[in-house]
Structure 1
Amino acid sequence: MQSVSSKLAQGAGILFALLGVLLAAGGVWLITLGGSWFYLLAGAVLAATGVALVRLRASALWMALGLLLFAAVWALWEVGLDFWQLVPRLIAFLVVAMVTAAFAPRLHRRDLAPALRCRPAGALAGVLALGLVGFFAGMFVPHPTVEADGSRAKVTNAAAGQAAGNDWPAYGRTSSGDRYAQFDQINTTNVKDLQVAWTYRTGDLAIDGAEYQVTPLKIDDTVYLCTPLSKVVAVDATTGKEKWRFDPKAVVSESTQGWKRCRGVGYADLDALDTATAASTATAPAQAVAANTPAAPAICRKRIIETTIDARLLALDAETGKLCEDFGDKGYVDLGIGIAPAPKDSDAGTYNVTSAPLVADGVVMVGGRLNDNLTVGEPGGVVRGYDVVTGKILWAWDAKRGATDSTPLPEGQLYPLETPNFWGTAAYDPKLGLAYFPLGNQTPDFWTGNRHDYSDEYTDAVVAVELKTGKERWHFRTANIDQFDYDVSSQPILYDMPGKNGETTPVLVQLTKRGQVFVLDRRTGQPVVPVEYRKVSTDAMPGMKVAPTQPHSAIAVGVEPFKESDMWGASIFDQLYCRIQFKQMRWEGEFTPLSDKQRTLIYPGYYGGFNWGGGAVDASTGTLIVNDIRMAQWGRFIKQEEAKRIGYKPSTEGEYSTQTGTPWGVERSMFVSPLGVPCFKPPFGTMTAIDLSTGKTRWQVPMGTIKDAPVHGIAPGVDIPLGMPTMGGPLVTKGGLTFFHGSLDYYVRALDNDTGKVLWQGRLPVGGQGAPMSYVGKDGRQYVVVVAGGATRTGTNDNRGDYVIAYALPKAGK
C-alpha cells in the first residue's frame, strides 16, 4: 500500500506533466511564429519530470534540477539580472525543483535506493525554498531602472523660485510651469515627521465620470480650487476652513457625462497689473496712456478666473467669491461663440474646457477640449486671448490661419473646422512677451487620410505667440502626421539653462506622450538638445497619409523598442501567451501603421509617455523630474458596419470608435495577458531625474505599488513596488524633495531629489491624480497639499472621494 507522501508525489507529477504539455504546445506555436525554442524544450522536460514523478523514479529529481539550471542560464542570457524579468522565467521551475526534492526519499533508482535520503533531500528542498523566499522578498523592494551614483546635484541658481514668495499663484506655481518651490522647512532630514495638518471635503464626490485632477492655488491666506463640476472653493490656508464657494451650475452634456473635471483655476491681481502697466508706459505721452488704459474697476481687484466644463469663462472676486459683473456678460464669457456646432446627429464635437487657463499680464489664454475619433467635421481647435478686466476677446489663433492672422473673427463667423486643438495649460515668458502652448492632431486620431495640409503642419506642435496679440512667432512639431493620438498635453516648462561659459539660454522643455523630451530655445523654437529624424514604417492602408520620418530627442524616457524577450507575465505561462501575441502583431517599431488584417502594437502608448500632468524642474539645479506611463496598446481598423454587426459600442476612448466619415472604424485595447497584467516588462510607470545640462539620467525608480490596483476587480492589497502607470505630476522643493501622489496606490510620497529613494509616504483615503503644491502659511509653516478623489478611471464609483489634505511638520513644542 502506497504511503500518503507517495500519492502526493504522484499527484504533483500529474500536474507537472499536464503543465509541461501545455508549455510545450505553446512553445510549438511560438516556434511557428519565429519565436524562442525555450518553451518547447522546457515544456518537454517538465512533462518528462512529471511522468517520472508519477512513476516515483529518481530521474524526476535530476530532470527537475537540470530544468531549473537550464532555465536560469537561458534567463540570464535573455535578460541579465533584471529582477522582474527573472521572476516569471524562474519561479515555476524553482517550485518544481523544490517540490521534487521534497519527495526525493520516495523516488527510487533502479536498485530501489532512494534518490536522496531524508536529510540531504530536506536540505536541498530547504535551499530551493530559500531561493523562492528570496524571490518573494525581492518583490517588496524597489528595483531602480537607473541607480543613483551618490552625487548631489550642483546648485546653479540659489535664488530660484523666490519670485512667487510664499504663495502658489498659478497652475505650475508660476507662468513658467516648473512646479518648483524654494521652501526648505520640510527637507530630507525631517520629512519623516510630516503629518496631516488639516483635511477639507468639497462635497462633490468624484463619481459618474468625474475626476479630481486639480492643482490648487494659494494666494495670501487662501487656497483656491475647483471641483469636477466646475464649482470654485476657497478655504483658509492654515486651517482648511471653508471661506466661500461658487457654483456656476455647469450643464453636463452627453459629451462631458463621462469627462467631468477641472484641473485648476487662474488668478489675477489688478493692482499689480496696474503697477506693471504704469511702469511700462512711464515714458509714453500722458494723453496716449490715458487713451489706451481702460478705467480700473473698483471691485474685484483680485480675481479668480475659471473655465467650465460647459465652455464658459468666468471671473470671481477672490475675497468674496462673487461674480465680477464688469467681466464679460455679468461675470461670464461664452467660449462657444465662434465654435462650430457638433456634426449632425453627433455629440462628438461638443466643445468644453477642463484645464486651468493661463492668466498673465492682463490676458486670459484658453484652448479647449474636443472628443476624439467619433467623426469628421468636428469644431476647430482655436486658441484665444481675453482681457482679464473686461472679458473682451483680444485675439484668436487657429492652425488654418497660422502665422498669417490672429484677429478674432467677426460675430456670426465660425473658426475653421478640424484644426488641431490645445487642451492643456500654456506657459508664459514675461521678458519675451511670448506664450507657449502645445497642440494635438486633427481628429479622428487613427485615420490620417482626411488630414488638411495645415493640420499636418501643426501636428503635435509647440507654438509660441505674442501674449498681447496672438501673433505666431514660431512652432515646432514633436511628431510628423500623428496616427496614434499622441497629442501634446503637458504644460511647457520654461527654464534658463546655464552654459559652460557663464551664458544662459532660455529654453522650453516639452514633454510628449511619445516619451520624448524636446528642449527648445524659446526665442526661436530651435532645438537646444539634438533632435534626430529617424525613418519609420510607411506600409500603410490605402488612403492613409504617413510620414517617412519622426523626430527623436537625445533626451527620452521609456522609449526603447520592444522585442520578444521584453514580453512579460505573472507566470511562465502568460509570459508565453504574451510572446505569442507579440509575434502575431504588426510591429516594426514606433509608428507602425494600423491595418485591418492584424493587430498593430502601439508603443509608446497613446496615454503616454508623459500625459497632461507634466513634470517639474528643480530650477536651482537644472534637474528635470518627470513621471511617466509605460503601457502598450494595440489597434486595428474595422469596417463600421462590421463593428455594428458585432455589437461594439462606440466611444471616444473605449475599445471601439466609429471615425464616421472615414473608411474605417478603429478597435483598440490594452496589451495584457489573460490574468489582466501587462504583457511587457515592468516598470509600468517611473519617476526619473534628468540633468538638463548634460541629458544624463541621474536616477529612475519604479513609481507605485500594486496594493490598490484592481485586477479583474480584486485589489492585491500588498505593497509590491512594481511601478504602475502614473497620472498627475510632481512637485519639487528646495528641501531636496519631490512630492507625488498620482500613483495607482493610495499614497502621497516624498522622494529624495538626489537618489529617488522614498523618504516618507502617507496613506490617502483614496487615490489621487493631480499634482501636489506647497506654500508657507501665515503661521510660518510650510504646507504640502494634495487633492484626492480616486485613482484614475476606475470605471466604477467605488473608492472615490473629495478630499483636500494639507501636510506639515508638527508645531513647535508638540
Structure 2
Amino acid sequence: MRVLTLLIGAVLALIGIAVAGLGIKLAWLGGSWYYVLAGALMVASGICLVRRKIAATWLALLLLAFTLVWSLWEVGFDFWQLVPRLMTFIVIALVLTLLVPALHGNRRLLGAGPRGVVCLALVASIAGIGYGMFQPHPTVVAEPGATAKVIAPEAGVADGNDWTAYGRNTHGERFAQFDQINKANVKDLQVAWTFHTGDMAINGAEYQGTPLKVDDTVYLCSPLNNVFALDPITGAQKWKFDAHIKETPANAGWKRCRGVGYFDADKATASATPAAGGECRQRIVTTTVDARLIELDAKTGKLCESFGENGVVDLLKGIGPNTDGSYYLTSAPLVAGDVIVVGGKINDNLKTDEPSGVTRGFDVRTGELLWAWDARNPKRGVPLPEGELYPKESPNFWGTAAFDEKLGLVYIPTGNQTPDFWNGNRHEGSDEYNDSIVAIDVKTGVDAWHFRTANNDMFDYDVSAQPILYDLPNKEGGTTPVIIAMTKRGQIFVLDRRDGKPVFPVEQRKVATDGVPGMRISPTQPYSQLSVGAEKLKESDMWGATVFDQLLCRIDFKEMRWEGEFTPIVEGQRTLIYPGYYGGINWGGGAIDASTGTLIVNDIRMAQWGRFIKREKAKEIGLKPSTEGEYSEQLGTPWGVERSMFVSPLGVPCFKPPFGTMTAIDLTTGKTKWQVPMGSIQDAPVHGIVPGVNMPLGMPTMGGPLVTKGGLTFFHGTLDYYIRALDNDSGKELWRGRLPVGGQGAPMSYVGRDGKQYVVITVGGATRTNTNDNRGRIARRGEIMRQAVLTTC
C-alpha cells in the first residue's frame, strides 16, 4: 500500500504542476485563474499522499468542492460543460477517499461510516454522469404538452401524392401532408425496398441527392450524374441514363448530384408543344459536373432531341476558356414554369480570374437561352451577343433556387467572388450582391430586388440553402408572402418576397475592422431577430474530453484573435472563425410545417481558425495547396490562407457541444420552440478510432429535414448511421433506424399506388471524412443503398 500511495501521490503532484503551469499561462493571457489554484491543490494533495497524510484526502475533497462551485458559476447546469470540469476531480476524490485507511492522521471525520457515505456519493456521481452521457440534452426544452396550432389545414394538399421538385415544390417547403406514418406508429417502420445504383461513393463522389416521385415513378441521380427511374412500390429499375461525365482536375475530387428537375408539358400553361409524336411530354431535367444541361424523356430515359443539341446544352458557352474545369454544377436545377434556372459552382480560394458566376434561364422545351443575370451587369437580362463572354469573377449561385409562380419571381441565393478569404480585389457588383437573396423576373432575367445577408464577406459565407417561400399569417388577419433565407452564419432572414423588406427585424451591428492593408472590411454586418447557433463564443465555452485538453483549448482561444464574428484574418496570429465557413446552415437548408407555421432547420456548429501566410513560407513548411484543404494559395492576391478546424490535442472540438442541432421556430411568434442535439459519436472516427457507442452529443449535420403532417420530422444527415423521426411538438426522438452507412441528403415522402406512405432516403456514406472507409461494406462493392420505409400497421 505504501508503494501505491507513493506512486499515486507522485503522479497527482506532477499532473498538478502541469495544470498549474498551464494555468499560469492562461491567467497571463487574461483567462481564468481557476487552473492555477486547482493545480496548486493537486500538488499539495499529491505531496501529502506521498507522505501518507490524511490531509491528501481533505485537499482532494476541497478541490472537488471548489471545482463544483466554480463550474456552476461559470456554466450553470449545462451537462456537457460540467462533465470535463468535474469528472477528473470526482475520480481523484474517490481514489483518495478509498486510500484513507493507509494514511496517517485524525480519521474521526473520515471513519468507516462517513467514508462509506462519501464513496457512495462519489460513485453515484460517476454513475449519474455516465448515464447522462447517453441521454440527449436539449439546448431549448419544449414546453410540456405544447401542441402546435393548425392554421392551414389544406397545406400540402395541392401537391397531391407526389414529390415533383427538389423541395417537393418550387417553394422549397419539404412538407408532406401525409399522416399515415405518425407519432403513434412510427416505431413500426420497416424497410420496404432497397435499390443499388452501382456507382461507388468514393474518391470525392458524395451521395447528397433527394429523389423525385411523379405519378408512378421515382427519379434519382448518382454523384456521377447517372439518372435512374424506379418503381415506387418495389424499387425495381425502369430505366437508366448514363451521363458519361468527363473528369476534370476540379471535379475529380468533388462529384455531387443533389437532385433533378421535372417538367410536364401536358400541365403547362404555354401553348408551345414539344417534339412531334408525343415524345418528351414529361421531362427529367438534370445537370452534370462537366457543365452540361440535359433533358430526358421521363417515360423512357432517352434524350429529348428537340432540346439543345440532341438533348444537351453546353453550359460552358459564354463562360470562356475553362481548361481546368473550374465551372460545373452540383445542385438540383429549378424548373420555374417554362424556364429552367441554373447557376454553377466555381472553385474556392485557388486563384483570381475564375469564371463568371452568371445565372441563366433556358427554355424548358428548346434549350434556348432566354436570359442571363450577372452581378457585374445585373440589369442586362438579355443574353450576350454570340462570341462574347460573361464577366469573370462575379458571385455565383451554386445551390437551388425557389420560384413564386404568382409573382413571376425566381429567388436565387448567391455566394461571393473568389478567393473567399481575401476580398481586396472585389468588384463593385461583387460587393453589392455577395451572399444575397436576389429576386429575378422569370421572363426578363432582370432583378426586382436583392437583400444582402453579409457585407464584404471574407469567410466563405455563401448563401447556399434553397430559400423557403411561405405565406405568413399577419396581424391584419391575412397573410404576408415571405421568403425565408437560411445562412451559413446561422442568421435566418424572413423577408417580404414582393420587395425584400425584412418582416422580422434586422439590425446592422458594428464588427471589428482591424485587418491587413488592402482588405475591404465593412464596419457593420446584418443580424436578424431569428438565428440558430450564432452566439458569440467566450472562454468558458471552450471544451474538451478532459480537464487537460479543455485547459489547452482555453489557452488556444486566448491566443487567437477574436472580437466576435467577422474578426478579420491577419498574418501570423490565428483568427477564430465562428460560425464556421461550413455553417451554420449549409446547402441542406430547412423545412416548414406549412400547416402550423413551424420552421424546422438543422445546423452545423464547428469553429475554425485561419491566418494569412506568404506562399513562399507555406512552400517552405510543406503546406499542400487545395481548394478545400488546410491551405489555399489564392493566386493573384497578396496572401495564401492557412486554416483548420479548432480542435483539441485529442482531436475533439475545442468548444462546447452540441456540434449540430435540429431547431423548431414558431414563425407566428418568432419563438424557438425546441432545439435538440442531432446525431451521436457512434460512427464518427477520431484519429482512426470509431467509438461505437450511441452518445448523443450532437454532431455536425448535412442535408436537410422532411416534415410531415403526421407530426414528424425525418432526418438522416448525421455522422452516425441512422435515420431518425422526431416529434414536431417536442423534438423528442420517437424512432431511429440503423443504416448500412451514413447519409447526407434530405428525405422525401410520397403515397404510392398501393395507398401506403413511403419515406425515401439516399444512403451513400457520411460526409467529408477524407476516407473511403466509412462508406461501408455495401458501398465498397459499389452498391449504394437507397431505402424506403413504411408503416406495417
Of 183, 198, 208, which residue of structure 2 is paired with 1:188? 183
Instruction: Please list the CA deviations of residues 578-612 of structure 1 after superposition, one character each: whole Å capped at 9, or x if unmatched.
Output: 00000000001110000103000000000000000
| Partner of residue 236, structure 2 | 241
Change over 3 Å in CA distance of 1:408–1:140 after alignment to 2? same
Of 622, 625, 634, which residue of structure 2 is paired with 1:647? 622
Alignment of 1:310 onto 2:310 = no
Amino acid across the alignment from 2:737:
G
Distance 1:142 1:797 in 2: 29
Shift of 1:116: 3.4
The alignment partner of 1:338 has SS state of coil
Alignment of 1:394 onto 2:370 = yes
| Partner of residue 300, structure 1 | 280
Alignment of 1:605 onto 2:580 = yes
* Cα pair 2:705 2:715 within 8 Å, conserved: yes
What root-mean-square deviation, in Å, do the aligned CA atoms of Structure 1 and Structure 2 show? 1.2
TM (norm. structure 2) is: 0.98
* Cα pair 2:81 2:656 within 8 Å, conserved: yes
Distance 2:683 2:345 in 1: 30
Alignment of 1:556 onto 2:531 = yes
Amino acid across the alignment from 2:336:
A
The alignment partner of 2:266 has SS state of helix
| Partner of residue 809, structure 1 | 791
Of 682, 693, 696, which residue of structure 2 is paired with 1:721? 696
| Partner of residue 260, structure 1 | 255
| Partner of residue 759, structure 2 | 784
Shift of 1:114: 8.0
The alignment partner of 1:61 has SS state of helix
Shift of 1:571: 0.6
Shift of 1:293: 7.2
Alignment of 1:141 onto 2:132 = no
Shift of 1:472: 1.0
The alignment partner of 1:774 has SS state of strand
* Cα pair 1:268 1:360 within 8 Å, conserved: no
Amino acid across the alignment from 2:129:
F
The alignment partner of 1:272 has SS state of coil
Change over 3 Å in CA distance of 1:455–1:20 after alignment to 2? same
Shift of 1:173: 0.1
Distance 1:79 1:799 in 2: 35
| Partner of residue 373, structure 1 | 349
| Partner of residue 578, structure 1 | 553
* Cα pair 1:271 1:301 within 8 Å, conserved: yes
Of 46, 52, 71, which residue of structure 2 is paired with 1:50? 46
Instruction: Please list the CA deviations of residues 120-160 of structure 1 after superposition, one character each: whole Å capped at 9, or x if unmatched.
Output: 43332222011111111110110000000131111110000
Amino acid across the alignment from 1:92:
T
* Cα pair 2:275 2:306 within 8 Å, conserved: no
* Cα pair 2:572 2:613 within 8 Å, conserved: no
Instruction: Please list the CA deviations of residues 715-755 of structure 1 after superposition, one character each: whole Å capped at 9, or x if unmatched.
Output: 11111111000000000000000000001110000000000
Of 418, 421, 436, which residue of structure 2 is paired with 1:446? 421
Report how many residues are paired: 785
Unaligned regions of 5+ residues in structure 1, if any? 279-291
* Greater mean deviation of Cα atoms: 13-22 or 486-495: 13-22
Shift of 1:363: 0.9
Distance 1:302 1:360 in 2: 15
| Partner of residue 340, structure 2 | 364
Aligned pairs (5 A) from 1:289-688: 298-342=278-322, 347=324, 350-402=326-378, 404-688=379-663
Shift of 1:467: 1.2
Unaligned regions of 5+ residues in structure 2, if any? none
The alignment partner of 1:598 has SS state of coil
* Greater mean deviation of Cα atoms: 790-799 or 669-678: 790-799
Shift of 1:297: 6.4
The alignment partner of 2:88 has SS state of helix
* Cα pair 1:108 1:114 within 8 Å, conserved: no
Shift of 1:115: 7.3
Alignment of 1:89 onto 2:85 = yes
Distance 1:775 1:55 in 2: 73
| Partner of residue 123, structure 1 | 117
| Partner of residue 287, structure 1 | none
Distance 1:204 1:248 in 2: 12
Distance 2:376 2:321 in 1: 18
* Greater mean deviation of Cα atoms: 53-62 or 166-175: 53-62
Distance 1:601 1:791 in 2: 26
* Cα pair 1:311 1:335 within 8 Å, conserved: yes
Instruction: Please list the CA deviations of residues 36-79 of structure 1 after superposition, one character each: whole Å capped at 9, or x if unmatched.
Output: 00001001101111111121110011001000000000000000
The alignment partner of 2:345 has SS state of coil
The alignment partner of 1:250 has SS state of coil
Alignment of 1:15 onto 2:11 = yes
Alignment of 1:200 onto 2:207 = no
The alignment partner of 2:530 has SS state of coil
* Cα pair 1:106 1:114 within 8 Å, conserved: no
Distance 1:547 1:72 in 2: 43
* Cα pair 1:104 1:114 within 8 Å, conserved: no
Aligned pairs (5 A) from 1:100-115: 100-109=96-105
* Cα pair 1:750 1:758 within 8 Å, conserved: yes
The alignment partner of 2:158 has SS state of helix
Shift of 1:295: 7.2
The alignment partner of 1:271 has SS state of coil
Alignment of 1:744 onto 2:719 = yes
Distance 1:582 1:536 in 2: 19
Alignment of 1:277 onto 2:235 = no
Amino acid across the alignment from 1:437:
I
Shift of 1:119: 4.7
Instruction: Please list the CA deviations of residues 66-97 of structure 1 after superposition, one character each: whole Å capped at 9, or x if unmatched.
Output: 00000000000000011110111111110000
* Cα pair 1:341 1:350 within 8 Å, conserved: no
Instruction: Please list the CA deviations of residues 751-782 of structure 1 after superposition, one character each: whole Å capped at 9, or x if unmatched.
Output: 00000000000001000000000000000000
Shift of 1:641: 1.0
| Partner of residue 693, structure 1 | 668
* Cα pair 2:461 2:581 within 8 Å, conserved: yes
Shift of 1:118: 4.0
Amino acid across the alignment from 1:497:
L
The alignment partner of 1:142 has SS state of coil
Distance 1:532 1:653 in 2: 32
TM (norm. structure 1) is: 0.95
Distance 2:205 2:3 in 1: 56
* Cα pair 2:265 2:274 within 8 Å, conserved: no
* Cα pair 2:336 2:410 within 8 Å, conserved: no
* Cα pair 1:702 1:722 within 8 Å, conserved: yes
The alignment partner of 1:75 has SS state of helix
* Cα pair 2:742 2:766 within 8 Å, conserved: yes
Amino acid across the alignment from 1:319:
K
* Cα pair 1:107 1:114 within 8 Å, conserved: no
Amino acid across the alignment from 2:121:
V
